[in-house]
Amino acid sequence: MSDVADRVKKIVVEHLGVEADKVTDNANFIDDLGADSLDTVELVMAFEEEFNVEIPDDAAETIVTVGDAIKFLEKNAA
Amino acid sequence: MRRVVVTGLGMVTPLGCGVEKTWSRILDSQSGANKISGFQIDDLACRIACQIPLGDGSDGTFNADQWMEPKEQRKVDPFIVYAMAAATQALDDAGWKPTTYEDQCASGVLIGSGIGGIGGIYEASQTLIERGPRRVSPFFIPGRLINLAGGYVSIEHGLKGPNNAVVTACSTGSHAIGDAARLIALGDADVMVAGGTESPINRLSIAGFAACRALSTNFNDDPTRASRPYDKDRDGFVMGEGAGIVVLEEYEHAKARGAKIYAEVIGYGLSGDAYHITSPSEDGDGAYRCMSAAVKRAGISPSEIDYINAHGTSTPLGDELELKAVERVVGNAAGKLAMSSTKSAIGHLLGAAGSVEAIFSILAMRDGIVPPTLNLDNPSVETAIDLVPHTPKRKEVNVALSNSFGFGGTNASLIFRRVS
């Protein structure tokens, strides 16, 4: 597992209060991990903070699973 | 109008989490005052407060995890967590868990706060200034709004009836109980979860209340002596925090399900000073009219009041004005009246004060004992009323009145009677 994936999953566990083994690449934040629309906004903010990157709103809308977040950040984070 | 009774009690106070823990410490003449911990105080005029004892939940300590999921706690200011704790206690005490759609729709919530999420507003302001608007959390607004205390409680317990909140500074808790009782009396609900909650202890609030010259500043090195209502050395109130929530219920509804009935809400009076934003009217007229209105609504004679839980904040002006207003209300019956200020023990819980003190009034009735006014060494005025200095007293209490007066000149009095 990449360093980026580890850090993303750690953030998801902390913010959504879910068990680490549920945070798989395919897990959908809303359908599988119990997030609501506000949680997803906060998650994106936490990713921006952790990876020191800006995630524009149109890109944020495409991040719906843990894997989406990892892929985006592997590509865009410094 | 329909009769309204109290069937459940819950509280979180500086003397502990839970009604019985707090009450036993009140009757043990303990004080919740201490040097403030948690933030910088060396440059503040007031460096003391009554803070909730945090811990693992044992021996009356407050463990937030027992009342709200950690991931939810993170989103809200403590006043919402305190409300969740006190409301859950009260509903458990009442044994009321509405599960059918009809019962849920007949059960409402009316929880207020004086200043709500002022601590979180302060922190988010710093985030905005230092790190910009993109760092302000989506939970900033919903976790700070005053009616979200009731919002969270309604979601947790499935309360689909009236959903309202009161914001009347230090009268909030009393207005919440009085207004909720009226909703039941008028038939808008059968059960209401009502009260006040507050988490005001942060640098911004202390600085602001100190600037109003409302806080005690002479006892920074001797915190437990600072809250001293009616005493000649009093110099302001000591800030407290917490929540007091009751379950109110229509009398026949409570009887039909065999609920334990603590007391009946027989009187509720409201008035405005129309005088000054922070000072009480000089002749105590607002307090007098508010108590008189509650007495009239209760249909009793003022001489029937056995105990008054005073607003009595320990400010130089307010205590004596309230005392004079009470003397005017009860007249020749002053000699048989007991009146104490439990703010001497737990400080001033602002929006939660009225509901916490209403609960103390009910417990005085239940146990036949009136709580003390701590630190009352030398009363600043003479009165025939027993101010219950230092230690509690045995006294049969059939009718109790609880007063609350707030900034803006907003006054509320509640009267409870024992149900035999």
Catalytic residues of A: 36
Mean pLDDT of chain B: 97
Number of H helices, E strands in chain A: 4, 0
pLDDT band at residue B92 under the 50/70/90 scheme: very high
Quick check: ipTM above 0.85? yes
Residue B174 has pLDDT above 60, yes or no: yes
Which residues have a Cβ under 8 Å from the Cβ of A6 and sit 6 or more positions away?
A: none
Nearest CA in chain B to A14: B71
Which residues of chain B neighbour A41 with C-beta distances below 8 Å?
138
For domain B269-417, give the CATH number: 3.40.47.10
pLDDT of residue A1: 55
Is the CB of A42 less than 8 angstroms away from the CB of B71? no
Task: Round to whole Å and give the CA distance between A43 and A34.
Answer: 13
Q: B17 falls in which pLDDT band (50, 70, 90)?
A: very high
What is the pLDDT averaged over residues B311-337? Answer: 97
Q: Which of A38, A48, A49 sits opposite B138 (nearest CB)?
A: A38
Query: How close A17 gets to chain B, by Cα (Å)?
Result: 6
- The domain segmentation of chain B, as residue ranges, is 4-263, 269-417
Task: Kindly state the DSSP code that residue A64 receives in the 8-state scheme.
Answer: -
CATH 3.40.47.10 corresponds to the domain B4-263: yes
Pull the structure tokens for residue B330: 């009860």
Per CATH, domain A2-76 is 1.10.1200.10: yes
Tell me which residue in A17, A42, A54 faces B137 most closely, judged by beta carbons. Answer: A42
Q: What is the pLDDT of residue A2?
A: 72
Residue B220 sits at the chain A interface (C-beta within 8 Å): no
- Residues on chain A touching B142 (C-beta within 8 angstroms): 38
Domains B4-263 and B269-417 share a fold: yes
The verdict on a CB contact (< 8 Å) between A45 and B69 is no
What's the gap in Å between the CA of B209 and the closest CA on chain A?
33
Indicate the SS3 state at residue B282.
coil
pLDDT digits (tens, 9 = 90+) for B210-249: 999 999 999 999 999 999 999 999 999 999 999 999 999 9
Q: What is the pLDDT of residue A38?
A: 95
Tokens of B327: 């003397």
Please judge whether B71 and A16 are an interchain contact, meaning their C-beta atoms are less than 8 angstroms apart: yes
Mean of the pLDDT values across residues B257-281? Answer: 96
For A45, name the nearest residue in chain B, comparing CA atoms only. B135
Q: What is the DSSP letter of B66?
A: G
Model confidence pLDDT, tens digit, residues A37-71:
999 999 999 999 999 999 999 999 999 999 999 99
Chain B closest-CA separation from residue A50 CA (Å): 12
Amino acid at B321: L
The H-assigned helical ranges of B28-166 are: 70-73, 78-94, 101-105, 118-131, 148-157
Over residues B105-162, the pLDDT tens digits come to 999 999 999 999 999 999 999 999 999 999 999 999 999 999 999 999 999 999 999 9
Q: 0.95 cut: is pTM over it?
A: yes
> Which residues 34-73 of A have a C-beta within 8 angstroms of B?
38, 41-42, 45, 48-49, 54
Say if CB B308 and CB B339 are below 8 A apart. Answer: yes
What's phi and psi for B163, nearest 5 deg? -130, 100
Could you tell me what percent of chain B has a pLDDT over 70? 100
**A17 part of contact set with chain B, CB < 8 Å:** yes
Q: Single out the residue of B320, B257, B237, B269 nearest to residue B46, CA to CA.
A: B237
pLDDT category of residue A78 using cuts at 50, 70 and 90: low
Q: Is A16 on the interface with B (CB under 8 A)?
A: yes
The minimal CB distance from B139 to the residues A17, A42, A49 is found for A42
